[in-house]
Homo-oligomer: A and B are copies of this chain.
């Protein structure tokens, strides 16, 4: 590589941005200059990336001049305005917000599943899926290629950091408040002690909350419909049946999901397990006789999607059930964005 492309990281100071800087330091150094961009409030801050201090610049049209790839980890409404501006100034925008995911002119990419789609980007924008979809789609995609998926029934165990840094801060503060108090024995006793719910609609410490995102049609949340619509788009199956229930759990980082997946063809559970063992980006931990399976506390901070508890349905030879864990800030956000950006970087070879 002679001319390494210039990268911009927009939203460099957020929860995902912080992980992105770690990833850029750890991964193959395919980038030339790296610009760090954030809101006015964070401009001037100095952050470390690849062992060097970089000064954060405020978001403005000019910062994209000379940028080849711009990764966005910012709220939907910020991406909606600024990703097109970056594209107009000549950068390929890789956007981790929900702003463009369902846009038919914007590919929604998971490199292990549909990496070839990055090339078809008429708007100069490529979308990164939602963290909950990403926490299972590499496993589902690998099985789909062999068996042809027809239906997914998914329940999530979503981490606090899916709601950003304020989600992490809120859960940590709540954990401190409830410690040593013998709560969770009477209705409302946690609620009496924990009064700051942060981004959540109820206490999260010593609790689970069947809600993530905002209310959409038919009583579903935005998060549940993202799992449905994004899975359909990534797998290229417009009539895939998907039922998701998203539940927040008191875990800092790493989403877990139970998945019941039906296929066109019968699935031998041992063959499926072997297929997953040989799939890129997947680690199988599935030794029930020694109680080995993935848990979020053992997966957080790692890159792959971890899968265990792989079982055949007892009622239907075409159905598998399994439990997946994926770090929602890494594969669920920063890592997948970085992987997409690296696919584009190859075009500069």
Contacts and interface: CB of A to CB of B under 8 A. Distances in A.
Interface string A159-178: 00000000000001001101
A180 B176 contact: yes
Interface in A234-281: 241-243, 245, 247, 249-253, 256, 258, 260, 269
Interface residues of A, number: 75
A207 B288 contact: no
Contacts of A63: none
A247 B157 contact: yes
Copies assembled: 2
Contacts of A247: 157, 256, 258, 323
A11 interface: no
Given A208-B251, A210-B323, A202 B297 contact: yes
Contacts of A220: 311, 314
Interface string A7-36: 000000000000000000000000000000
Contact of A245 (B191, B206, B211, B321): B321
Interface of A: 151, 153, 155, 157, 172, 175-176, 178-180, 182-191, 201-203, 206-211, 215, 218-221, 228, 241-243, 245, 247, 249-253, 256, 258, 260, 269, 286, 288-289, 291, 293-302, 308-316, 319, 321, 323
